């Protein structure tokens, strides 16, 4: 009898991490790297490496990002993992980098999804409206 799939060695989808660490404490760096590793563990991904950008002035084609694009060309690479979209850089650079990642045939995975402003919906005014001049059904004549 064949063993169950869970008991076979199955390769996990390969991802590479990307961190933008400009003026960040050592403790914060370790926490961010740990968040990538934990995300991969809980989502059954193989974190094969982490590319780190440390310069605030780095453009979209920085050395770290170019290295990331190079490994995305390898066979069987699933995607890029970052703690948040801000790790790709300022908005214009992040948007360009996101396009390059997708053009390489990879996915961008974020540990922390973007926050959308929460707008609670008010109850329907029809459902809450009580008119003092309206008689209830029990009070009407039949």
pTM across the whole model: 0.73
Residue 65 in any domain: the answer is: yes
pLDDT bracket for residue 80 (50, 70, 90): very high
Report if residue 4 sits inside a domain: no
Q: Is residue 126 part of a domain?
A: no
CATH number at residue 27: 3.40.50.1390
In the block, tokens 């459902």 appear at 127
Separation in Å, CA 82 to CA 27, 95, 109, 130:
17, 14, 6, 52
In a domain, 117, yes or no: no
Q: Is residue 123 part of a domain?
A: no
For the chain, the domain total comes to 1
Domain that holds residue 85: 11-110
Look at residue 1 and tell me if it is in a domain. Answer: no
**For 104-131, what is each residue's pLDDT tens digit?**
999 999 998 765 544 444 444 444 444 4
Residue 142 counted as domain residue: no
């Amino acid at each position: 009898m064949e063993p169950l799939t869970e008991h076979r060695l199955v390769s996990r989808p390969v991802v590479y991490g990307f961190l933008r660490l400009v003026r960040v404490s050592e403790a914060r760096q370790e926490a961010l790297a740990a968040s990538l590793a934990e995300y991969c563990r809980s989502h059954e991904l193989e974190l094969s490496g982490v590319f780190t950008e440390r310069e605030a002035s780095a453009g979209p084609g920085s050395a770290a990002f170019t290295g990331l694009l190079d490994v995305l060309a390898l066979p069987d690479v699933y995607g890029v993992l970052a703690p948040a979209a801000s790790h790709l850089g300022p908005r214009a650079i992040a948007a360009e980098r996101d396009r390059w990642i997708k053009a390489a045939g990879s996915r961008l995975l974020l540990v922390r999804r973007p926050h959308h402003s929460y707008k609670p919906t008010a109850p329907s005014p029809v459902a809450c409206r009580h008119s003092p001049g309206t008689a209830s059904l029990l009070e009407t004549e039949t």
